[in-house]
Amino acid sequence: MSKLRIGIIGLGTVGCGVYKTLQNHENIEIVKIAVKNLNKKRSVEPPSSMLTDNPFEVVNDSSIDVVVELIGGVEPAYSYLEAAIKNGKHIVTANKELLAKRGAEIFKLAEEYNRVILYEAAIAGGIPIIMPIKTILAGNKINKIHAILNGTTNYILTKMDVEGASYEDVLKEAQELGYAETDPTGDVEGFDAAYKITTLATIAFKKKIKLENVYREGITKIRKEDMKEANEFGYKIKLIATASIDENNNADVRVHPMLISKDTTLAHIDYVTNAVELNGFPLGKVVLSGPGAGEFPTASSVVGDVLAIEAEFGKTDYLLPMMRCNHSEVANPIKIEDTYNKYYISITAPNAIGVIAKIGTICANKNISLSSILQRGVSKDNTADITVITEKCQEKLIREAVAELTECRINSIIRVAD
């Protein structure tokens, strides 16, 4: 039996993990690896004849059956995969940004050339989620997703919660420990999670979700005071990637901080751990949790995809039909201002008679019901800290109500999970 011949683009942390793991599989042969710097010291030392600094030597090599792309970003990654597919190669990728931004194009091209693209590692690192949705959960109509999909932000929020530290202090520590990049924007502003939920919702709902319709809000405005107050009300604050779809094909897909009840599983997903909660019929709710990043967790998903191709390679003319992207309908996006949520609002108000009554009146005039309202002691500057949690109401009405609180300072507005 001939071996499946692999070409790898990228030999960073994940690439090294993939290289190490594939050494244990006798039916796999790594033929060529494209790297940016041939002289860089790595945790693996492939034969020098295997390395190249020209990725097109990988995608144009007629002896390679599968190209594994691990460099990230849209370009030049898209151009490499486009060439690989046209050269008859199957694809395994961990590239969440590419899939979110140009997934429709690359999947269409793959189908045209009868190639398969597998991308388990692009959503939740080592957590198996795409294959289960496509196979053992295929009989379910999934209509709601709640997920923690970014380990960096979950680490920061957990440390803020446990230690009572500020966002700025924890971010600095996370950067020193290597959990956060020197430029953490992609993580802390929610871009990474937005890429992931775009593809995850597309697969789970069997409808195309466009990245430009995904609302995104990061964690940079979360204060240690919010953490403390959330705990007192029975919640934890997490960066949640959430998606839901109704019977009329209207999809609400977004990433933002949320207050999550301590009674739920997601509230106890801490540090760099990720989790995906799926809701559907007939199964109901299922939660998958595990390491969402790192050398071997991500390599586990990449290698799993390679072995899925290896198991069927040469045995059929149409490889892995269940894993193909075959939906064409685009979901109707719901704008964030039209969504209905509960809200946590932290207010600093003048210590004057009637302030709480005025807050209540403004909310009542917008048809906003208050679940709870709490005033703390008066500060030296004669202001009072007031915390409000609303019942479910429309986002645009909350914005209108807050705009009318002209005498108050709004410290935080955070949505509360159902």
List the catalytic residues. 196
Q: Residue 170, SS3?
A: helix
Is the previous residue joined to 76 through a cis bond, with omega within 30 degrees of 0? yes
Place of tokens 């207050």: 259
Cα gap 206→138, rounded to integer Å: 10
Contact 136, 117 (CB under 8 A): no
Contact 114, 318 (CB under 8 A): yes
Contact 67, 93 (CB under 8 A): no
Rounded to a whole number of angstroms, the distance between the first and last alpha carbons of the chain is: 54
CA 252 to chain centre: 15
Q: Where are the beta strands (DSSP E) in 337-390?
A: 340-350, 370-378, 383-390
Provide the 8-state DSSP code for 128.
-
DSSP-derived secondary structure for 216-238? E--STT--HHHHHHHHHTTEEEE
Q: Label residues 312-350 b or e (16+ Cβ within 10 Å = b).
A: ebeeeeebbeebbbeeeeebebbebeebebbbbbbbebe
Query: Going by C-beta distance under 8 Å and a sequence separation of 6 or more, which residues neighbour residue 61?
Result: 7, 31, 32
Place of tokens 């609302």: 215
Which residues partner with 66 through β-bridges? 6, 90
For the chain, percent helix, then strand, then coil, each to nearest 5? 35, 30, 35
Which residues partner with 393 through β-bridges? 341
Q: Please name the helix (run of DSSP H) or strand (run of DSSP E) that holds residue 416, with its range, or none.
A: strand 409-416
